[in-house]
Amino acid sequence: MKAIITLLFSSLVLLASETNHLQVKILETIITNIHLDKNIVVWSDNKNLLAELKKHNVLLTTNICEDATVIILQDKRKLEKECSSKHIFVLNYNSLSHVPQSFGALFWKKGRPNIVLIEPRIKSQLIKISKDLEPYLEERVW
């Protein structure tokens, strides 16, 4: 019985690790396919995610949200007031409604990653996106 529980727990840990790795890869792809008038520096309230982004060394990261140009936000309650005017990408679809300055979201639905970019918000924040991200554009939050 212990062997079965250990195997089940190990499988869940491995699955969570793979999901986190996939999430980091998707975020790196999204962020590298947006263009701002300044260098992109990323901060996240999710410290594990920020550590993974640093480890991959694809994006510039910071430990201080005030130094970031793009914020990857998991929990809107952790958004510091000084950073609320930054470009914000959320990790929960509902946060698109609750964080009106967010320009897009990556979230999981039925075990699959979903990407949504809100076109009017992208335009108002003067964000340019590559052709690769155009299929993810939406006119509004559903």
CA–CA separation, 62 and 33 (whole Å) = 19
16, pLDDT greater than 80: no
pLDDT score for 142: 80
Structurally, at CATH architecture level, domain 2-138 sits in 3-Layer(aba) Sandwich (3.40)
19 — pLDDT class (breaks 50, 70, 90): low
CA–CA separation, 2 and 70 (whole Å) = 45
pLDDT tens figures, 95-126: 999 999 999 999 999 989 999 999 999 999 99
pLDDT tens figures, 35-65: 999 999 999 999 999 999 999 999 999 999 9
Q: What is the mean pLDDT of the chain?
A: 88
State the pTM of this model. 0.85
pLDDT tens figures, 63-81: 999 999 999 999 999 999 9
What beta strand segments (E) does the chain contain?
A: 34-35, 41-44, 60-61, 70-73, 87-90, 102-109, 112-118, 128-129, 137-138
More confident residue, 119 or 2: 119
Give the burial string for 81-106 (b: 16+ CB within 10 Å, else e): eebeebbbbbbbbebbeebeebbbbb
| Residue 68: count of CB within 10 angstroms of its CB | 21
14, pLDDT greater than 80: no
What are the percentages of helix, strand and coil residues in the chain, rounded to 5? 45, 25, 30
